[in-house]
Structure 1
Amino acid sequence: MRNRHGLRAILVVLMLALVCRWGVAQIGPRYVIDASGNGNGGPAGTSSSTQGRVQPIGKGLLLISFQGLTLLAVDADAEAYSPELVRQWPAADLLLLTPASAGRYDGLAPLWALRDGLPVVVTEPAGGMPAGAAATTGGPRLYPLQVWNTLDLRKRGTRLHVTAMPGGSGTAAVAGYLLELGDSRASYRLYLGRSGVVEGAVQLAQRLPGADLALLPGREGALLLRLNRGAPKPVDPVALTATGYAFKAIRR
C-alpha cells in the first residue's frame, strides 16, 4: 500500500513538472540585456528627470528617449527599412522592428548592415540563429519575440520592459509591442503597433497592464493615440509632428 502511494506521488510530481515545462514553453523566453556600458544614445540614465520624448526622424523611424536610454522604432514596411539607408539611422541602445503588414517588407536582410552587437527586437525567427547571437561575420544581435514573450533592458537606473502583444481574439501573430519605460519610482507605457493598423488599437493598448500612449506607424507618418484611462472618452489619433511628443513618467 505504501509503495502504491509512493508511486502515485512520484507520478503526480512528474505530471506537475511536465505541466510547468509546457507552461514555460507557451510563455516563451524572457531576454535580459544590460546596456549600462553602452555609450550610445547619449548620457547614461542617472538623471532624476521623469521626462521622455518621442521624435520622428523621417518616415518610418521614431526615436524614443527617456533618462539617457534611446530606442529606435523602425516601420518594417517603410522605405527607410532598406540596406542602403540602414547606415544612416541614428545610434540607439535598442532597435525595435515593427511587425510587417502587406507592405514592402524585405525580411531581416537590411539589419545586417547595423553595427556589431546592437540588440534588435524582431517578430520572426533569426534564420536559425540562437536568440541574442550575432552573425559570425559581425552584425546585430537579434531577439525574436512571439506573442507574450518579453525582453528587459537596463541602462543603469533606467529600465525598459518589452512585451510582444497579440492582435484580435484568437490570433497568434504579434501585432505590436508594449513598452514600459521607467525606474523604481515611475514609468510610462507606450504601445507600438504595426503600420496601417488603426482599428482596434485602442482596445488592444488598453489591455493589462494598460498603455498611456499608442504609436501607430503610417505611410504618411506616425499617428499618436492618447490612452489616458481617466479621460471621459477615447480621442482620435493625431499626426506626430516634427516637434515630437513629450511625455512624463507616471507613479504606479
Structure 2
Amino acid sequence: MAQAYGWRALGVLALLVFGCRLGVAQVGPRYVLALDSAPLRSAPPPAGQVQLAGKGLALISFQGLRILALGADAEAYSAEAMAQWPQADLLVLTPAASGRYEGFAPLSARGGLPVIVVADERAPAVAAAPLPALYPMQLWDALHLNKGPVRLRVTALPGGAGSSELAGFMLDMGNGRASYRLYVSCLPLAQSDAQALGQRLPGADLVLLPHGQTPQLLALRGLTAAGETVPVALTAAGHHFKPVRR
C-alpha cells in the first residue's frame, strides 16, 4: 500500500513539474534581442520623448533607445519614405486600417532594422529581398530588448474583456531604477472610449493611437484638472516624459 502511494506521489510531482514548465514556456519571453551600445559623446537625457517624425510615423526615444511606430498603410510606409526615416533600433508596425498596403516589400529599404509585426496567416510571403528581421507577435507574446543599461519589454495585448484579438503593444522601457509604459494601439479610439481604455490599461502611462497621418496621444497618468482623458495630436515638437519609480 505504501509503495502504491509512493508511485502516486511521484506521478503527481511529475505532472506538477510538467505543468510548471509548460506555464513558464507560455508566459516567458518569445524573443530576446541584445543590441550593441556605441559609446555616447554625451549622456542621454534622463527623460524620454514621443514625436512626429513623418506622416503617420512616431519616434519614441528613451535614454539612447529609439523606436519607430507606424501603421502599415501610412504614407510613410514606402521604400522612398523609409530612406528618409531617422535612425532607430526597432520598428513596431501595426496592421493596415485602410488604403494602400504593399506587404513587407517596402521594408527592404531598411534591411538592418528589427521589425515587430502582428502574426497573420494571411500576410504575404516574404520575398527574397534583403528584408529586416521580422518578429511576428501573437497574443501575449513578448520581445525583450537590451541596449546598454536600457531594458525594453514589448507585450502583445488583447482588446476588451474576453477578446482574443491583438489590439496593441505595451512598451515597458526602463533602466533598472524606473520605467515608463507606453501602449501602441493597433486600433483608433473615439474620445468617448478613452476612459474605458484607461480602465483596461491601469499600468500604462501613455497611449499612442493611430489617427490618419497624425497619430494621437492619450495620457493615462496625470489627467487634466477635470479628470478627463482627451487625445491630442502628436507634433514634431513632441511630448516629453519621465520614467516612474514603481
TM-score band (shorter)? Answer: 0.7 to 0.9
Paired position in structure 2 for 1:97: 93
Report the CA distance shift for 1:224/1:208 in structure 2 as closer, same or farther (over 3 A).
closer
Cα deviation, 1:129-148, whole Å, max 9, x if unaligned, reads xxxxx988643111122222
Matched, 1:238 2:232: yes
Deviation at 1:103, TM superposition (A): 4.8
Structure 1 runs of 4+ off > 6 angstroms? 134-137
Paired position in structure 2 for 1:150: 142
Which amino acid in 1 is paired with 2:242? K
Which amino acid in 2 is paired with 1:242? A
Partner of 1:65, secondary structure, is: strand
Alignment check: 8 A CA contact 1:46 1:67 kept: no
- Give the 5 Å matches for 1:67-106: 67-106=63-102
- Match for residue 114 of structure 2 among 113, 119, 125: 119
Matched, 1:109 2:105: yes
Partners of 1:28 and 1:251 in 2: how far apart? 24
Partner of 2:108, secondary structure, is: helix
Paired position in structure 1 for 2:183: 191
Report the CA distance shift for 1:29/1:180 in structure 2 as closer, same or farther (over 3 A).
closer
Partner of 1:180, secondary structure, is: strand
Question: Identity over the aligned pairs, expressed in percent?
Answer: 50
Alignment check: 8 A CA contact 2:160 2:200 kept: no
Greater shift after overlay, 1-10 or 139-148?
Answer: 1-10
Partners of 1:230 and 1:196 in 2: how far apart? 20
Cα deviation, 1:201-234, whole Å, max 9, x if unaligned, reads 5434554661111111211411111111676623
Cα deviation, 1:176-205, whole Å, max 9, x if unaligned, reads 111122212222111111253346454345
Alignment check: 8 A CA contact 1:28 1:148 kept: no
- Give the 5 Å matches for 1:170-209: 170-198=162-190, 200=193, 202-207=195-200
Partners of 1:50 and 1:59 in 2: how far apart? 27
Report the CA distance shift for 1:67/1:238 in structure 2 as closer, same or farther (over 3 A).
same
Greater shift after overlay, 1-10 or 240-249?
Answer: 1-10
Alignment check: 8 A CA contact 2:167 2:187 kept: no
Q: Normalising by the residue count of structure 2, what TM-score does the alignment of the two structures yield? A: 0.83
Which amino acid in 2 is paired with 1:172? S
Partners of 1:212 and 1:185 in 2: how far apart? 16
Which amino acid in 1 is paired with 2:210? P
Partners of 2:103 and 2:162 in 1: how far apart? 25
Paired position in structure 2 for 1:59: 55
Report the CA distance shift for 1:49/1:86 in structure 2 as closer, same or farther (over 3 A).
closer
RMSD between aligned residues:
3.0
Which amino acid in 1 is paired with 2:211? G
Partners of 2:21 and 2:194 in 1: how far apart? 33
Partners of 1:29 and 1:178 in 2: how far apart? 14
Structure 2 alignment gaps of length 5 or more: none
Partners of 2:222 and 2:13 in 1: how far apart? 44
Deviation at 1:123, TM superposition (A): 1.1
Structure 1 alignment gaps of length 5 or more: 129-133
Paired position in structure 2 for 1:169: 161
